[in-house]
Amino acid sequence: MAAAGNTSSKGGKTVLIVYAHPKPESFNGALLQKAIKELSSKGHNVIVSDLYKMKFDPLVRLEDFSGPSDVSKDVQEEVDKVEQADLVVFQFPLYWGSFPAILKGWMDRVIQVMSGFVRKTGFYKKGDLKVRGKRALLSFTTGSPSIPQESLEAMLLPMQVGTLNVVGFDVLLWQAPPQVSFGVEKGWDGGKGF
């Protein structure tokens, strides 16, 4: 795993993994480590945003509405990582059919800046659609033993289409479907948290 800020010297792609699980020995943690290993072995550069470890602040705050052109430092750091990346992978446990709160907060704050919402509305400064052409992939675990394809697509709509597509990500839907790990809480690590 290369440090944030590095670019690959081997001509590979740069992959940002936004990881949202508090427990390294969880199934999610194992998937993260596997992804880092596989991608690195193929010559790609991997950057990880470990949201719990970073103590990423998920809350939109009053300050976000106050200045004329302010982007918080922690948000800017995440924007910079996305700008470097060719692909962004979101690795998380599905909570109530959606992102866990800490990852929802990443969307609320980081994606919000990247969306280029105009400042005249009082909500962030105008930016470019900096994510245009970048790819995004969801990889998540769920306790459900299975989910019908149609329900899965409906459930993921606000995330894949309403959020990531809207700001310009090329979400990997048809080229490569989201990576869904079913029934995880009943196995693997002795039931100690998925």
Instruction: Examine residue 185 and tell whether it contacts its own copies (CB under 8 A).
Output: yes
Residue keyed to tokens 């597509």: 165
Q: Which of 168, 165, 167, 16 is nearest to 87 (CA)?
A: 16
- Which residue in the set 96, 128, 150, 175 belongs to the binding site for its own copies (CB under 8 A)? 96
**Which 8-state DSSP code applies to residue 3?**
P
Residue type, 124: Y
- Which residue in the set 6, 7, 53, 65 belongs to the binding site for its own copies (CB under 8 A)? 65
Q: CA–CA separation, 153 vs 108, rounded Å?
A: 22
**Which 8-state DSSP code applies to residue 45?**
E
Beta bridge partners of 91: 19, 139
Which residues in 130-159 contact its own copies (CB under 8 A)?
A: 143, 154-155, 157-158
Instruction: Examine residue 190 and tell whether it contacts its own copies (CB under 8 A).
Output: yes
Task: Report, in Å, the least distance between residue 80 CB and its own copies.
Answer: 21
Instruction: Name which of 4 and 155 has its Cβ closer to its own copies.
Output: 155
**Which 8-state DSSP code applies to residue 46?**
E
Task: Report, in Å, the least distance between residue 118 CB and its own copies.
Answer: 10
Q: Please list the alpha-helical segments (H only) found in 42-192.
A: 73-84, 101-106, 112-114, 149-159
- Which residue in the set 47, 79, 107, 113 belongs to the binding site for its own copies (CB under 8 A)? 107
Chain residues binding its own copies by CB under 8 A are: 22-23, 52, 58-62, 65, 95-102, 104-105, 107-108, 111-112, 117, 120-123, 143, 154-155, 157-158, 162-163, 185-186, 190-194
